[in-house]
Amino acid sequence: MPVSEPFSTSGGFSDDPTPASPWARDGGRHGAHEPAREAEPGGHTIPAECSLFVLKEDDTVAAAQVSSSQPWFLQNVALAGKKLRVLLLQLRPDWEPHLPSRIADGDTPLHLPEAVLGSTGIVLTLRRLRHGNLTFVTAVPELAPPEMLKEAGMADFRPDPRTFAKLFLRLRTIENRLEHYLAHLPGIVFHQRADLSFAFVSRSAETLLGIGSDTLLRDSHALLRLIHPADERAYYHELDRNAESRRSFSLVYRIIHPQTRACQYLLDVRCPIRSAGGLLLGYEGVWLDVTRQKIAEHGLTTRAWKESLSTLTGGLLDDFDTVMTGIFSLSELYHNTLPVSHPLHEGLGLIKENAAQAQRLVKKILELNRESPGDRNYVNVGKIVRDQMDLLRVILPRGTGLSGPPAEIDWPAYLDESSFRQVLVNLAMNARDALAKQGKIQISLRRLEPGQPPAADTVPALSLPHVPTAELVFSDNGCGIPPNLLARIFDPFFTTKDSSRGAGLGLYNARLFAEAHGGQIAVRSVVGKGTEIVLHLPLADLSLADAPAPSAASQKRIQVLFFDPHATEELPLAENLRQRGWTVRSVTTPDHVRRLLREQGVRLDVLVVRERKADSNLRLLIAEIRRDHPGLPIVFTASGRLRSDALAALRSQVDLVLTPDLGDRDAADSMIKLLRLP
């Protein structure tokens, strides 16, 4: 009875039942044992080591071609009409646990171990393909899957070039895949020996640590020199404490970036590697940057501590205020009763004045404790600064000269009063450690109208105000800040003080306050002469105070990060977005973009990138942002004409492309549609 031929001579499937296959001979009997490398003209090429079976629905062999290069495999055996599973078990009974009851059912590969007896690295792989009523099965001896090679050695492979070529290709593929994973892993993978020298460090180490992997491999103490001095003892203690552990463990410590001098928190997760006898050989591990997590933890801890401290000291301050009220009342009574010539008159006057000053200080502290940060109201900027002067005098060293704005400066602003007072306290505490014996602090206020130039020569440069703005300058005559550190002083955990004198979050919180209120903050300093912190806060337009309250949806301010490396002045598009009530933060360097995204990525609504050309560096930056912040919409606006191929490549990377011929109003409308805003 003729056997159905699954292939046509043109290479496709055929329904012709004529046995035209070059490998269907004698009703299923094999022909000569020549290698089946090439088929007859019009036929098909079959690899020399590949055997091919066609199974009917009952799992019996309809046609077959068995490779002559495998003399141990079903040679000179009648196959037609027999079940392939039975034939395989007759050949190797130990394959029964690996074979299903019906080979024709299913399409997953079957790996039969030790295709060559004694060679655990070689398996016989059966691959199945269903077509109509037939199932095509190929049987090829090949390398075992990775999970079956875990215990294999070189003696478990056949010593022929083809086997080792396959092994090399597999290893090369795994190596390429590993390199790809290491390049995109959000961390640094390392292998550290027991003496703390490194055998391997992934290439991206320089991005996080500031030193390259080659340096770490050459110098075993390179990492130890980066660890914050206050954390060195804890680092060694954790390693000693886990010296006998066989399980993975983790430790957190700070490092000082050698280039930026910024303080970063590392999560060090490592797994000990031990010999069979338990000897520690080294560690496999990964370093992760957890600075943002530590900032959040510090904020939560600080807030919880402030709440506890407020509850604890609130009652004590009330009691102290009551005592001082009694002292003030009695001193005032006797002072007014005694004549001026009385010897106690002058002393009672001093007691009265000091009691009154103590009462004022207590009230300031109570106000800081009782106010809830985050609540915004219309306040008088000048009045708050003047009211805070008494508390600042307590913070500053005795004898420090302190002057504030004149009483006639009364400008309204809509802001969080409690946070503003805390900013002033933070600025005073930062200035305190830089002052000499004859220290002077001056707080000045200046009103800026839209377009009026702000303070010059600041870091970063202040942009022109678009609304009436209060410019507060907090200046001191201290030691100043070196120019190479000016760009980092608003970063979290950055401090030039001893670790016991501050966490490096005071100026960072001041920057967050400014950005949350649509303002700016910058610094200018001269070493040996002093430092000025310049804070811009938009003033309130009280003419709109009686306007209808906006809806909840419209109250949300859209946060925009605007990146333009060639910007020399404010762009019309950014100005148009600000007029719509959006908060726009402009930056000019890729590193600044990365830092702001790392610190504020969850609060940003959209990133706008403006460039003259779409080169490879820009596309790599966008790809990096896509990888690290997958949910952030990206808008590209071209400052010049782009080639069609470059434009097409950009459209595949970003969410919206704004061409130069699009007006600023239409561009802003397109962004509103992108963000699905009302």
* Residue pLDDT, tens place only, 589-608: 888 888 778 766 667 888 99
Architecture of domain 557-675 in this structure: 3-Layer(aba) Sandwich (3.40)
Rg, C-alpha atoms of the chain: 38
Two tokens at 195?
Answer: 């003496």
Torsion of CA 75, 77, 81, 82, to 10 degrees: -80
Could you tell me if 449 and 411 are in contact, meaning their C-beta atoms sit under 8 angstroms apart?
no
The whole-number average pLDDT for the span 621-638 is 84
**Mean pLDDT along residues 497-520:** 77
Structure tokens at 481: 């800040």
> Is the pLDDT at 314 greater than 60, yes or no?
no
The first and second tokens of residue 66, run together, are 């068995």
CATH of domain 185-289: 3.30.450.20
Residues 6+ apart with CB under 8 A from 348: 331, 334, 335, 338
Contacts of 451 (CB under 8 A, 6+ apart): 464, 465, 466
Q: Distance between CA atoms of 462 and 420, rounded to whole angstroms?
A: 20
Q: Which of 400, 466, 389, 457 is nearest to 424 (CA)?
A: 389
- Tens of pLDDT along 662-674? 777 888 888 888 8
CA dist 596 and 613 (Å) reads: 23
What pLDDT is recorded for position 547?
Answer: 42
How many residues does this entry show for the chain? 678
**Structure-token pair, residue 297:** 């933890």
pLDDT over 50 (residue 231): yes
Average pLDDT over residues 459-487: 91
Digit-coded pLDDT (tens) for 606-624: 899 888 777 778 888 888 8
Please report, for the chain, how many H helices and E strands are present, in that order: 17, 22
Report the distance separating Cα 210 and Cα 189, nearest Å. Answer: 15
Residue 199 binned pLDDT confidence (cut-offs 50, 70, 90)? very high
**How many Å apart are CA 570 and CA 52, to the nearest integer?**
72
Q: Please report which confidence band the pLDDT of residue 126 belongs to, taking 50, 70 and 90 as the band edges.
A: very high
Report the percent of the chain where pLDDT is more than 90. 19
d(CA 201, CA 500): 32
pLDDT at 236 over 50: yes
Q: Which of 14-23, 103-112, 557-566 has the lowest mean pLDDT?
A: 14-23
| CA gap 136, 216 in Å, rounded | 55
d(CA 287, CA 289): 7
Secondary structure (3-state) at 345: helix
pLDDT score of 17: 37
- Beta-strand pair 134-143/188-193: unpaired
Arithmetic mean of pLDDT, 473-501: 81
Q: Mean per-residue pLDDT for 319-332?
A: 74
* Cβ atoms within 10 Å of 558's Cβ, excluding its own: 17
User: Could you give the CA distance from residue 205 to residue 211 in angstroms, rounded to a whole number?
Assistant: 7
Of the listed ranges 75-89, 292-306, 342-356, the least confidently predicted one is 292-306
Between 1.10.10, 3.30.450, 2.60.40, 3.10.620, what CATH number should domain 26-154 receive?
A: 3.30.450
Q: Which residue is it, tokens 């040996």?
A: 528
CATH class in words for 378-540: alpha beta
**DSSP annotation of 231:** G
Phi, psi of 648 (to 5 degrees): -65, -40
pLDDT of 251: 92
For 557, the token pair is 């301010």
Identify which of 474, 410, 412 has the alpha carbon closest to the alpha carbon of residue 444.
474
Confidence (pLDDT) at 5: 37
Q: In this predicted structure, what is the pLDDT of residue 522?
A: 94
Pairing of strands 401-403, 412-416: unpaired
Cis peptide bond upstream of 550, omega within 30: no
- CA-based torsion, 323, 329, 330, 332: positive or negative: positive
Q: What is the pLDDT of residue 186?
A: 79
pLDDT tens by residue, 328-369: 777 777 777 888 888 888 888 888 777 777 766 766 666 555
**Residue 169, helix vs strand vs coil:** helix
Average pLDDT over residues 291-318: 63
> Which DSSP letter does residue 258 get?
T
Joined tokens for residue 612: 């003259």
Q: Which of 256-270, 355-369, 412-426 has the lowest mean pLDDT?
A: 355-369
pLDDT value at residue 191: 93
Residue 18, pLDDT score: 35
At residue 31 the predicted structure's pLDDT band, cuts being 50, 70 and 90, is: very low
Q: How far is Cα of residue 38 from the mean position of the Cα atoms in its chain?
A: 55
Give the pLDDT of residue 121: 75
Single-letter amino acid, residue 132: G
- Same CATH fold, 557-675 and 185-289? no
Across 324-465, the runs of DSSP E, i.e. the strands, are: 376-380, 401-403, 412-416, 440-448
Please tell me the distance from the alpha carbon of residue 642 to that of residue 647, in angstroms, as a whole number.
6
Q: What is the pLDDT, as a whole number, of residue 536?
A: 95
Average pLDDT over residues 490-495: 78
pLDDT at 30 over 70: no
pLDDT at 33 over 50: no
CA 505 to chain centre: 20
The pair of three-digit structure tokens given for residue 564, joined into one six-digit string = 């333009």
Find the mean pLDDT for residues 649-659: 83
Average pLDDT taken over every residue of the chain: 79
Residue 656 has pLDDT above 50, yes or no: yes
Identity at 583, one-letter amino acid code: T
18 burial class (0-12, 13-18, 19+ CB within 10 angstroms)? exposed
Cα distance from N-terminal residue to C-terminal residue, the chain:
75
Domain ranges of the chain: 26-154, 185-289, 378-540, 557-675
Higher pLDDT, 239 or 629: 239
Residue 293, number of CB atoms within 10 A of its CB: 13
Residue-level pLDDT at 21: 33
Tell me: pLDDT of 493 over 50: yes
pLDDT at position 445 is: 94
* Average confidence (pLDDT) over 643-655: 79
Q: What is the pLDDT of residue 419?
A: 85
